[in-house]
Structure 1
Amino acid sequence: MTYQETINYLFTRLPMFSRIGAAAIKKDLHNTIALCDALNNPQKQFKSIHIAGTNGKGSVSHMLAAILQTAGYKVGLYTSPHLHDFRERIKINGEMISEEYVIDFTKRIQPQIDLIEPSFFEITVAMAFEYFAKEQVDIAVIETGLGGRLDSTNIITPVLSVITNIGWDHMNLLGDTLEKIAGEKAGIIKQHIPVVVGETVEETKPVFEAKAQAMQAPLYFAYDQFTVIQKETIDHKLHVAMQETATNDVLPYTLDLPGIYQTKNIVTVLAAVRQLQQQNLAISEEHLQTALAATKQINGLHGRWEVLQSNPTLVLDVGHNEDGMKQIVAQLAESTYQQLHIIIGMVKDKEVEKVLALLPKEAHYYFTKAHIPRALAETDLQQKASAFQLNGNCFENVNAAIANALQHAHKDDLVLVCGSVFLVGEVVYSV
Structure 2
Amino acid sequence: MPTIDATFEQTVQYLYSQLPMFQRDGASAYKKDLTNTIRLCEFLGHPEHQFKSIHVAGTNGKGSTSHYLAAILQKAGYKTGLYTSPHLKSFTERIKINGEEIRQQAVVDFVSRIKPIIEEIKPSFFEITVAMCFDYFAKEQVDIAVIEVGMGGRLDSTNVILPEVSLITNISMDHQQWLGDTIEAIAREKAGIIKRNRPVIVSEMQEEITDVFKKTAEGLSATLTFASNHYHVTSEGVYKENVHWLHFNGSSLPSYQFKNLPGVFAAIEIMNQRGFRISEEAILSGINNVYELTRLKGRWQKLSDKPMMFCDVGHNEAGMSYIVDQIASIDFGRLHFVLGMVNDKDISKVLSLLPNNAVYYFCQAKIPRALNAEVLSEKARQFGLFGTAIKDVNEAVNEARSNAGINDLIFIGGSNFVVAELDNL
* TM, length-normalised to structure 1: 0.96
Q: After TM superposition, give the deviation of residue 255 of structure 1 in Å.
A: 5.9
CA shift digits 1:99-152 (9 cap, x unpaired): 000000011111111100100000000000000000000010000001000000
Q: 1:78 to 1:365 in 2, by over 3 A?
A: same
Write out aligned runs for 1:52-201 (5 A). Answer: 52-201=57-206
Q: After TM superposition, give the deviation of residue 333 of structure 1 in Å.
A: 1.2
CA distance in 1, matches of 2:321, 2:20: 31
266-275 vs 340-349, greater mean Cα deviation: 266-275
- Which residue of the partner structure matches residue 338 of structure 1? 333
Q: For the Cα contact (< 8 Å) 1:256–1:293, is it kept in 2?
A: no
Q: After TM superposition, give the deviation of residue 366 of structure 1 in Å.
A: 0.1
CA distance in 2, matches of 1:23, 1:180: 22
Q: For the Cα contact (< 8 Å) 1:196–1:221, is it kept in 2?
A: yes
CA distance in 2, matches of 1:374, 1:304: 22
Q: For the Cα contact (< 8 Å) 2:169–2:263, is it kept in 1?
A: yes
Q: 1:256 to 1:156 in 2, by over 3 A?
A: farther
Question: Equivalent of 1:241, from 225, 231, 237?
Answer: 237
Question: Partner letter of residue 46 of structure 1?
Answer: F
Q: What SS does structure 2 have at the residue aligned with 1:357?
A: helix
- Which residue of the partner structure matches residue 396 of structure 1? 391
Q: What SS does structure 2 have at the residue aligned with 1:154?
A: coil
CA distance in 2, matches of 1:249, 1:429: 39
- Which residue of the partner structure matches residue 237 of structure 1? none
- Which residue of the partner structure matches residue 300 of structure 2? 305
CA distance in 1, matches of 2:291, 2:121: 38
Q: For the Cα contact (< 8 Å) 2:62–2:148, is it kept in 1?
A: yes
Q: Percent identity?
A: 52
Question: Partner letter of residue 61 of structure 2?
Answer: G
CA distance in 2, matches of 1:139, 1:345: 36
Runs of 4+ deviating beyond 3 Å: 254-257
Q: What SS does structure 2 have at the residue aligned with 1:153?
A: coil
Q: For the Cα contact (< 8 Å) 1:198–1:267, is it kept in 2?
A: yes
Q: After TM superposition, give the deviation of residue 350 of structure 1 in Å.
A: 2.3
- Which residue of the partner structure matches residue 44 of structure 1? 49
CA shift digits 1:242-266 (9 cap, x unpaired): 1110x72432124696211011111
Q: After TM superposition, give the deviation of residue 201 of structure 1 in Å.
A: 2.0
- Which residue of the partner structure matches residue 236 of structure 1? none
- Which residue of the partner structure matches residue 282 of structure 2? 287
Aligned length: 420
Q: After TM superposition, give the deviation of residue 349 of structure 1 in Å.
A: 1.8
Q: For the Cα contact (< 8 Å) 1:255–1:293, is it kept in 2?
A: no
CA distance in 2, matches of 1:374, 1:179: 27
Question: Equivalent of 1:8, from 3, 7, 13?
Answer: 13
Question: Partner letter of residue 71 of structure 1?
Answer: A
Q: For the Cα contact (< 8 Å) 1:46–1:137, is it kept in 2?
A: yes
2:384 is the counterpart of 1:424: no
- Which residue of the partner structure matches residue 235 of structure 1? none
CA distance in 2, matches of 1:334, 1:254: 16
CA shift digits 1:69-102 (9 cap, x unpaired): 1101000000000000000000001000000000
Q: 1:23 to 1:394 in 2, by over 3 A?
A: same
CA distance in 2, matches of 1:257, 1:171: 34
CA shift digits 1:190-209 (9 cap, x unpaired): 00000010113222110000
CA distance in 2, matches of 1:251, 1:182: 31
Question: Partner letter of residue 239 of structure 2?
Answer: Q
Question: Partner letter of residue 299 of structure 1?
Answer: T
Q: What SS does structure 2 have at the residue aligned with 1:181?
A: helix
Q: For the Cα contact (< 8 Å) 1:321–1:351, is it kept in 2?
A: no
Q: For the Cα contact (< 8 Å) 1:364–1:391, is it kept in 2?
A: yes
- Which residue of the partner structure matches residue 377 of structure 2? 382
* TM, length-normalised to structure 2: 0.97
Question: Partner letter of residue 137 of structure 1?
Answer: V
Question: Equivalent of 1:359, from 336, 354, 360?
Answer: 354
CA shift digits 1:43-71 (9 cap, x unpaired): 00000000000000000000000000110
Question: Cα RMSD between the aligned structures?
Answer: 1.1
CA distance in 1, matches of 2:12, 2:249: 38
Question: Partner letter of residue 242 of structure 1?
Answer: V
Q: What SS does structure 1 have at the residue aligned with 2:411?
A: strand
Unpaired runs of 5+ residues, structure 1, are 232-239
